[in-house]
């Protein structure tokens, strides 16, 4: 979106977001035979997607271990149902998630961020994203600034300051590279 190559995450070819969206849509089609409206992420990707019941276990499994995105590390750090993560796969390096939010929230955050970066597509923040930023402990302005300057701020590592300090100590470095950026972004 930032490079003006794609207009939405689902149309961004060769990205992990597109792979996740394709698997999510495929899982939704299998679990609900009726046709869902395709009016964008807000209608298709709810924050509660995949958190409702027993039949959702199968859907979650299809999303997390799907054909397109099954090689990617999952988004949520702690899944609602451990059974989904219990399935082992040789396609991915880790079954550990990377963020404290679900796939639906992640995809909405991704779309909103892309719209903030593109001056011709700026959009008001969805109501459900406010608590997400509070949970992540970062302001919307700092989030967008971090995304825009990510390569400059985090040259060799990224994470919470304590994690970066521990990693530097393990490697025998006397300081963690990019630690000031981590302190500013991830309190």
Q: What is the pLDDT of residues 119-144, one digit of tens each?
A: 676 777 777 788 888 887 788 888 89
pTM higher than 0.95: no
pLDDT at 36: 43
The rounded distance, in Å, linking the Cα atoms of 52 and 183 is 36
pLDDT at 187: 65
pLDDT band at 2 (very low <50, low <70, confident <90, very high): low
Check residue 6 and give left, alpha or beta (phi > 0: left; psi -120 to 50: alpha): beta
Alpha helices in 8-158 (DSSP H): 16-31, 41-44, 54-64, 82-86, 103-117, 129-136, 140-148, 150-153
Domain boundaries, the chain: 1-137, 149-187
Residues above pLDDT 70, as percent of the chain: 74
DSSP code string of 126-160: PTTHHHHHHHHT--HHHHHHHHHTHHHH-SS--S-
């Amino acid at each position: 979106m930032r490079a003006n190559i794609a207009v939405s995450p689902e149309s961004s070819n060769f990205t992990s977001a597109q792979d996740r969206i394709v698997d999510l849509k495929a899982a939704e089609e299998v679990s609900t035979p009726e046709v869902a409206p395709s009016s964008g992420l807000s209608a298709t990707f709810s924050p509660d997607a995949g958190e409702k019941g027993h039949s959702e276990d199968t859907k979650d499994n299809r999303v997390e271990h799907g054909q397109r995105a099954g090689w990617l590390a999952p988004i949520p750090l702690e899944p609602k149902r451990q059974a989904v993560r219990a399935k082992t796969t040789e396609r991915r390096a880790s079954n550990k998630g990377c963020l404290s939010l679900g796939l639906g929230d992640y995809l909405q955050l991704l779309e909103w961020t892309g719209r903030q970066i593109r001056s011709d597509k700026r959009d008001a923040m969805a109501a459900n994203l406010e608590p997400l930023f509070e949970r992540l402990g970062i302001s919307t302005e700092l989030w967008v600034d971090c995304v825009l300057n990510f390569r400059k701020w985090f040259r060799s590592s990224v994470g919470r300051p304590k994690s970066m300090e521990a990693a530097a100590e393990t490697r025998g470095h006397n300081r963690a590279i990019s630690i000031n950026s981590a302190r500013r972004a991830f309190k």
